[in-house]
Structure 1
Amino acid sequence: MGIVEAAGVTIEMLPRSMAGRNDEDADAAFMLNLLTAARLVPRRMWHLGRVALGSVPLFETVIRAAAVELQGVLHEHGPPRRFHEVEEEMTTILGSIDMVRAMRQLPPERNRVPIRHAPLQADNPLARLMLSLAEHLQRCTKSRRSAALLANAADQLSAAQRCQLSPRLVELSEPVIDVEDHWRPLYDLASGLARGVNPNPTRAGSTATNVLIFALDDIFEKIMRRAIPYALLGTGLGLAASTPKRYMLRDTETGMYRLRLRPDFLILDCDDPVLVADAKWKHLTLDRNGLSLSREDVFQITAYMNRYGLRDGVLLFPADTRTRRVVGAAWNRDLAVEGSTAIIKALAIDAHALVSPERVQRDRAMVQLRDALTWARGTHQQVA
């Protein structure tokens, strides 16, 4: 989940609500609850943003961004100017003398010198392209603000000759590397429009932007790490502050250990490990064999169980409409590991209630979490 901002557009990637309804406000509130419960943002900053909704085409945002970009480049660098060779007759010598023309002059004309030089010209292919781009976007936009910005840009480029936006004009106006790189984004936009390809702001590209992304697996783990110690109060069980170093492999020649195991949670009884657990932000499918668990998740928890010498392991998932229970213990399911006595216990925890700002809901979720963990511990047997 997270937020992406690009070209004046803000996109929210909300977590799956798992509440059985399509409610963007509820999903946004749940995202804020997750972030504050994980202490990634302070509670005093809890608020929902509001933006005006309308039937503005996505291409309109591109036009506005291009208009602002064009204004910014013109303000910083001025209209594009290029050296262009011209032939003139002047009283002063600039550039080189055209000797062929000088020898053909008649006596009354010899007070002026025919020269050939290359002054900076405001009328050049790149300036013509930018002018045609501004006028093309001005015809396309329905925003008065964008139209005003583009009209102002066209006025600043008025020294250039008006031309139709075309692939030929694009070909002639390629920006000079390291000299005209600031015109490159607008040139690319004009190139696409000249070829009849409209930009798509929903497609991934190379434009730099602001992005704020959170991994839901990590947030769910942080929330459970804060909740489990409170849920286990009075049960005689506790959560290990840090997992003891255990490795999967040992080099028989050097004695060096490899592949350290790092389970999310190790539950202790008098300092002895009795239960290992991992948090997974995934949607369980109750009507499918294996609940749609991935091989990687099963291999990981069984490796933890084997290395810590435990018969039981727990996989924690967020509850949805089918696994959430208003009254009683949280949803659970035992999955026996074929060919062994190991049991993997799948528990669905009501994450919505666990991070709710309402104390009654949080307390109920804590009771369910305590019942689920003590149930998982109740059939614990340590492997000899």
Structure 2
Amino acid sequence: MKSLTFRERESVSIGPTGDISEPEAEGLAKLDGCLPPGVLNWGHRSLRLGPFCGVLRTKQLAIEILPKIDHGSDSSEDMRGLLVAMIARTGELGPKRVGEAGLRQQNGHLLDVFIEDFCGQVKVALRRGAIARYSDRTDNINAIRGRLELNDHLRTNAFDRSHLLCRFDERSINNPYNQALKAVLRILVGLALSPSTRAIVTAILHRFVEVTDRRARARDVAALQFDRTIRHWEPVFAKALWLLQGLYPDVRVGDTAGSALLFNMEKLFETILGLQLQYVSQTTMGGRLSIALQSPVKNLSNSGFQMRPDITIHSGEECVAILDAKWKRLYLDNSNSGVSSADAYQMNAYASRYRCQRLALVYPASKECPPGHIREFVLATNERPILEIIAIDIRELAFGGDIPRGVEGMIEKIEAGLPKMEVRDSLNRGTV
């Protein structure tokens, strides 16, 4: 299978001398209807990729789409490592990935990274043994076991005194849990691109030789229940469901021969920024400020127009700041630094509805726009809210443990505006 690597928002030429051939483009076109809007944007003998990263797979092609970060090294290995680190921050990859020494550089294809991560989770769970369940079984055996089924035994073995028809409970790994897991592994061994990844999956499959082969369906995996004895397996099956919904054709794309695991980069950026702020607020801010993601939800009118800010910062019941993450590039030469009017209007609406005086639009840093505070606008409304423009280093966010530069300065301004009693209490706790 042909394997290609592109960057988000990159243009891909189509034709005999292009990046992909016309038959390969037709395969992507068949998949397009099942993808989120904006992933593939078609032009004349070309297509432009949208702000999504991950994996697209057709019969002819395996395409990985990596982030385009115009700040620092942009090699495929570094960008792959960055994307994996960002995904790991959201919990979509196993916790081992977050602290892995080689995380900053990933040489394998993203599809293999996802598959190997899943296999790693399975191997860890298998250290405590495969899931075994008792089932009721009736069998004609040569020694009594469980309960003798006397009437049936007399009919079955009337002329055979060497066997006994018994009903008994048997503990077996051949159960719906392992059947579903084996089915997912069989799919992954066919999808893996590198021989080493296929070998990893095959080695795990050998542990399930006694398990009946069956077809994997997402709804079957979702229906499995986990008691306290097998609770440690629940994250493994959650990941299996995630992979099934993204990679298995019959689940997401009907009869189309293709699959996808894609991440909306703006949503991913917003999520890891919010999670990092939540973590820092809980560990170093002494509870003075709380961080909420996608909440509180309010309506702009009595009957609708729901508003859901990316990140809100609260001091008690008061909303003291609202942040929105934008996976776009700032242009410092422009009069508004590249901030769109629509984004400014949206933030002004937030300020009014949430009675909040401090707002921020947060962008990725670039070569032309270094990390930190870029500029601020005082919005010309009665409340005169301040809209701050901030650029942050994506690597610092993905690999670091502190508040990114720029956002840190905003937090300091918020803390400076807290009542003196709150600040004094924080100083006593050593958190300011």
Query: How does the TM-score come out when normalised to structure 2?
Result: 0.44
Specify which structure has the bigger relative contact order, considering alpha-carbon pairs within 8 angstroms and separated by 6 or more residues.
1
Larger Rg: 1
**Larger strand share, 1 or 2:** 2
